[in-house]
């Protein structure tokens, strides 16, 4: 059983397992920009409300690889600890700068970077550095962080902008967490489809993306009110 929330025209969020939801969707995605479970059985210890909680399907990269397989144009966060996505054409580094990070405290360097694998031929634009800097991460829950792996909106937006399709292209995030890719997509005037398996994070994503939708300049008319449906998947 999955739940569908229509935030506005072309902006649809699903609560459920993306392996079950995606085969039912009528709209193909132009690009996938996602931050899947890294496959490292990560357990958060930030002293936040999610302390000790494990991300679902994080024991290996099999779910990531199964879900991403049908899509040609993909940007996916990852780690050096597990293999890249299949058919990766390149890899970017997100330099997290002075962001707060725990990791192995006996290792005398902070893990202040993450990888972003790129696949497909859609990516265009000015030839920028492959090390992405200056995208500030919200580190503390008390300052607005609502997911242990929350990414900066500006970072996701900078990736989406490298796929300059005309019209309102569809951005898909099958592992949307707190909805950061969705916030970036609607802020850029794109359509967005997101799926999240955890109800707590799904509710956060609905709130953040609805807020971003209201603020997006492209909506000259007021978007229709959010609609909730239950799907018999
Ligand atoms: C690394 S987090 C994404 C965080 C996101 N980038 C953000 O800024 O909040 C990965 C998310 O995938 C979700 N997830 C894991 N398996 C899933 C599945 N089969 N279907 C949908 N969501 C899944 C987890 O609950 C988790 O919230």
CATH of the domain at 171: 3.40.50.150
113 has a pLDDT exceeding 80: yes
Atom of ligand 1 nearest to the CA of 150: 8
The finding on whether 135 has its CB within 6 A of some atom of ligand 1 is no
- Residue closest via CA to ligand 1's atom 2 equals 177
Q: What is the mean pLDDT of the chain?
A: 87
CA-CA-CA-CA dihedral for 230, 147, 161, 100, to nearest 10:
180
Q: How far is the CA of 197 from the centre of ligand 1 (A)?
A: 7
Q: Which helix (H) or strand (E) holds 76?
A: strand 74-78
Instruction: Give the per-residue pLDDT at 56.
Output: 83
Cα 108 to the chain's mean position, in Å?
A: 30
Sheet of strand 2-8: strand arrangement: 131-132, 90-95, 113-119, 74-78, 31-34, 170-173, 191-196, 11-15, 2-8, 227-231
The finding on whether 175 has its CB within 6 A of some atom of ligand 1 is yes
180 has a pLDDT exceeding 60: yes
- Residue closest via CA to ligand 1's atom 27 equals 177
Specify whether the CB–CB gap between 198 and 225 falls below 8 A. Answer: no
Q: How far is the CA of 68 from the centre of ligand 1 (A)?
A: 13
Instruction: Give the per-residue pLDDT at 100.
Output: 61
How crowded is the C-beta side of 62, counted as CA atoms within 13 Å? 4
Q: How far is the CA of 176 from the centre of ligand 1 (A)?
A: 5
213 has a pLDDT exceeding 90: yes
The parent domain of residue 115 ranges over 2-231
Domains identified in the chain, total number: 1
Backbone angles phi, psi at 202, to 5 degrees: -60, -45
Q: Best substitution site from 18, 196, 206 to test ligand 1's pocket, by max atoms within 8 Å of Cβ?
A: 196
223 has a pLDDT exceeding 50: no
């Amino acid at each position: 059983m999955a739940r569908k929330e229509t935030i506005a025209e072309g902006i649809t969020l699903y609560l459920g397992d993306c392996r079950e939801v995606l085969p039912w969707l009528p709209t193909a995605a132009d690009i996938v920009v996602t931050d899947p479970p890294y496959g490292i059985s990560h357990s958060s210890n930030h002293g936040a409300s999610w302390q000790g909680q494990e991300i679902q399907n994080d024991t290996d990269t099999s779910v990531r690889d199964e879900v991403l397989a049908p899509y040609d144009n993909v940007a996916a966060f990852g780690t050096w600890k597990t293999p890249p996505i299949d058919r990766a054409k390149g890899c970017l580094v997100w330099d997290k700068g002075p962001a707060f990070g725990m990791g192995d405290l006996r290792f005398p360097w902070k893990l202040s970077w993450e990888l972003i694998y790129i696949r497909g031929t859609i990516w265009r634009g000015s030839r920028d550095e492959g090390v992405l800097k200056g995208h500030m991460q919200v580190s503390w829950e008390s300052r607005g962080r609502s997911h242990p792996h929350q990414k900066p909106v500006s970072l996701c937006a900078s990736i989406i902008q490298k796929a300059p399709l005309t019209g309102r292209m569809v951005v898909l995030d099958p592992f949307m967490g707190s909805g950061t890719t969705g916030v970036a997509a609607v802020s850029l005037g794109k359509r967005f489809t997101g799926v999240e398996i955890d109800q707590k994070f799904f509710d956060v994503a609905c709130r953040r993306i609805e807020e971003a939708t209201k603020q997006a300049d492209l909506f000259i008319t007021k978007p229709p009110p959010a609609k909730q449906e239950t799907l018999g998947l």
